[in-house]
């Protein structure tokens, strides 16, 4: 296996210098960057690496080596010694289509020899949990699923996903990795610290959170976030929720809000809906 990483920080002229990336016979090209980079980078890369499987998305910060950059584009090229790749993509028609979209992705991936799936999705009109649930529904239990949703530097306006067909603002794409020689490991780490009281979810529907302790969720968030509440939903990325089990034990599940809808009055009830009972509790987090 051969991996090369590079990061582009300047505009168009330097972007077209792919000599470092072309020093290996790549099979997989991964691209992560701010949305404006798609104008300069994606088509030249499609022309220069037409034989590679291409996957990437817009971001709110780019990881490169041991650090995080912003306003840049991180590119990783990988050559495998004994691993085959297969790409799949679909377009969710709405957030309600997220589970079915995950199933459509999974059904496009041949099952024999599948070891792992890297999936990237547009980051606004989608339920990421439902997407993964649908994908898991049709894949063997032993298959590792990893990836994430696209960002747009916390603007919450438009995100994009790259696959072999180009750049799309409404796509979900994945790459299946095949072969017994492929060894995989994964892990997560966060420095979030809890603060404030624990709240019980008293009203929700799927991934839409209506009320905490019988009060509108937005009221609770405003009380905790203070001046940061004016920048919701973007500031919500800095203060996610820690999901607790019914016994208030922590299992590492963290959720952020990426959209909000305000009724005519903050204290008005929301339109009727089918409520889903929940014993989950949530606690605000902040970064240490």
**pLDDT score of 137:** 96
Q: Is 217 or 41 the better-scoring residue by pLDDT?
A: 217
Q: How confident is the model over 115-123, as a mean pLDDT?
A: 95
Q: Is 46 or 106 the better-scoring residue by pLDDT?
A: 106
**pLDDT score of 239:** 79
Asked if 16 and 6 touch (Cβ cutoff 8 Å), the reply is: no
- pTM as predicted: 0.78
**pLDDT score of 265:** 43
**Strands, E assignment, the chain:** 2-8, 28-33, 53-58, 62-64, 67-69, 73-79, 84-90, 114-121, 144-149, 161-163, 166-168, 172-178, 192-194, 199-205, 208-212, 215-216, 241-244, 250-255, 281-287
Q: pLDDT tens-digit profile of 132-156?
A: 999 999 999 999 999 999 988 777 7
Q: Is 51 or 259 the better-scoring residue by pLDDT?
A: 51
Mean pLDDT of all residues belonging to the chain: 80
Cα 48 to Cα 17, 19, 26, 115, distances in angstroms: 10, 10, 11, 28
Residue 281 has pLDDT above 90, yes or no: no
Residue 285 has pLDDT above 80, yes or no: no
Q: pLDDT tens-digit profile of 59-102?
A: 887 777 767 777 788 888 898 989 999 999 999 999 899 999 99
Identify the top-confidence range among 106-110, 160-164, 193-197, 268-272. 106-110
Q: How confident is the model at residue 268 (pLDDT cuts 50, 70, 90)?
A: very low
Q: How many CB atoms lie within 10 A of CB 271?
A: 7
Structure tokens at 206: 């799927």
Residue 273 has pLDDT above 80, yes or no: no
Q: Which of 6-10, 17-21, 165-169, 245-249 has the lowest mean pLDDT?
A: 17-21
Q: What is the DSSP string of 47-61?
A: HHTTTSEEEEEE-SS
Residue 27 has pLDDT above 70, yes or no: yes
**pLDDT score of 55:** 94
Residue 18 has pLDDT above 80, yes or no: no
Identify the top-confidence range among 44-53, 93-102, 222-231. 93-102
Helix extents (H) in the chain? 12-15, 37-48, 98-108, 128-138, 217-225
Asked if 135 and 56 touch (Cβ cutoff 8 Å), the reply is: no
**pLDDT score of 277:** 40
């Amino acid at each position: 296996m051969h991996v090369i990483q590079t990061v582009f920080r300047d505009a168009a002229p330097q972007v077209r210098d792919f000599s470092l990336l072309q020093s290996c016979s790549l099979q997989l090209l991964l691209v992560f960057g701010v949305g404006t980079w798609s104008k300069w980078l994606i088509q030249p890369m499609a022309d220069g690496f037409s034989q590679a499987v291409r996957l990437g998305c817009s971001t709110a910060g780019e990881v490169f080596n041991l650090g995080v950059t912003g306003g840049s584009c991180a590119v990783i090229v990988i050559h495998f010694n004994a691993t085959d790749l297969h790409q799949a993509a679909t377009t969710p028609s709405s957030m309600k289509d997220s589970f079915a979209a995950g199933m459509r992705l999974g059904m496009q991936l041949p099952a024999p020899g599948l070891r792992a799936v890297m999936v990237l999705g547009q980051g606004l009109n989608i339920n990421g949990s439902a997407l993964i649930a649908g994908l898991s529904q049709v894949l063997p239990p032993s298959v590792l699923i990893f990836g994430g949703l696209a960002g747009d530097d916390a603007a919450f306006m438009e995100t994009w996903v790259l696959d072999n067909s180009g750049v799309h603002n409404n796509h979900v794409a994945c790459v299946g990795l095949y072969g017994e020689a492929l060894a995989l490991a994964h892990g997560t780490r966060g420095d979030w610290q809890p603060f404030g009281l624990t709240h019980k979810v008293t009203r929700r529907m799927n991934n839409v959170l209506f009320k905490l302790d019988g009060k509108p969720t937005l009221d609770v968030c405003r009380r905790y976030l203070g001046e940061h509440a004016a920048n919701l939903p973007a500031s919500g990325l800095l203060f996610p929720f820690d999901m607790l089990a019914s016994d208030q034990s922590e299992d590492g599940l963290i959720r952020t809000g990426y959209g909000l809808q305000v009724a005519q009055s903050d204290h008005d009830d929301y339109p009727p809906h089918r409520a889903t009972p929940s014993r989950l509790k949530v606690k605000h987090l902040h970064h240490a």
